[in-house]
Amino acid sequence: MKRAQIASGNRLQSVLETPNRRQSHRPPVEFGLMYSAQNGSGDVLMGDGMVTDLSSTGLGVRGNTLVRPGMELMIFLYLPGQDPLFVMETRVAWTSGHRFGVEILKMNLREQNRLRYFLRSNLTSSD
């Protein structure tokens, strides 16, 4: 990680820049999702929220139920104008309050193809 200077009022402040470890570009989006997991004691955790960015390998979420890094989630994405898309297995990569990022670990082939088609049809890369 490297340090950067940012302006804060009339003075410069040193902050750590977090390296981007994403494997693919994640354009901003906004649509609903539902997520669930089983915690260590066997209780089922359920939440819903909004997808904030999306790629074929991961997504950003603003959710109503707190999660922790390393937690495995099942997710239903409510893609606009389509049936819900089921993501069988994801892992929480980072959290910041009610925002978090997940890595997609496992999807069936049909759902992978639906997601790729959605991304190609609706989202254009700005890279």
Could you tell me the pTM of the whole model? 0.74
- pLDDT averaged per 10 residues in sequence order, the chain, 127 residues: 43 43 60 91 92 94 96 96 95 97 97 94 62
How many distinct structural domains can be found in the chain? 1
Residue 126: strand, helix, or coil:
coil
Residue 100: strand, helix, or coil:
strand
Q: Which residues contact 107 (CB under 8 A, 6 or more apart)?
A: 86, 87, 88, 89, 115
Spatial distance between the Cα atoms of 58 and 23, rounded to a whole number of angstroms:
9
Asked whether residue 73 is assigned to any structural domain, the reply reads yes
CATH of the domain at 114: 2.40.10.220
Token pair 């890094």 is at which residue? 69
Asked whether residue 106 is assigned to any structural domain, the reply reads yes
Residue 115, domain extent: 22-122
